[in-house]
Amino acid sequence: MNQAWKNSSTALVAIQSLKDLDINWIEQPVIADDIDAMAYIKTKTDIPLMMDEGLKGAREMREIIHKRAADKVNIKLMKCGGIYPAVKLAHQAEMAGIECQIGSMVESSVGSAAGYHVAF
């Protein structure tokens, strides 16, 4: 959703309307900095939630884990600082039982190659 539903109220109304569509997960339904809203929504739906824009680095990952705010995270090298920080985020996620994917911000082929290497 790329933050399109803004807050937990509008997100929950939208999620309720989608509940019969066998959705695999919902990505970042609320504004990036509202990790509390993600945690709240997660208590109200069985559809897995993915944090994307709200994950910038290790500080946010610690908060996501502590608050159980996401089932999945999207790690972007251009946001977290490169290969090494991305690997650390992936390790944090794995230790907390959170699935992760390596995303991109439509960077160059060189930037994408770095992401591929982290993923592999």
Structure tokens at 120: 């592999």
User: Which of the ranges 8-16, 30-38, 47-55, 109-117 carries the binding residues for Mg ion, by CB under 5 A?
Assistant: 47-55
Handedness of CA 72, 77, 79, 80 (dihedral sign): positive
Residue 52 as a binder of Mg ion (CB under 5 A): the answer is yes
User: Which of the ranges 2-10, 16-24, 55-63, 85-93 carries the binding residues for Mg ion, by CB under 5 A?
Assistant: 2-10
Number of residues that bind Mg ion (CB under 5 A): 3
User: Which of the ranges 12-20, 46-54, 62-70, 90-98 carries the binding residues for Mg ion, by CB under 5 A?
Assistant: 46-54
Q: Which helix (H) or strand (E) holds 101?
A: strand 99-103
Q: What b/e readout covers 89-98, taking b as 16+ CB neighbours within 10 angstroms? A: bbebbeeeeb
Residue 60 as a binder of Mg ion (CB under 5 A): the answer is no
Structure tokens at 49: 């939630």
| Footprint (CB under 5 A) of Mg ion, residues 3-32 | 28
Give the residues lining the site for Mg ion (CB under 5 A).
Answer: 2, 28, 52
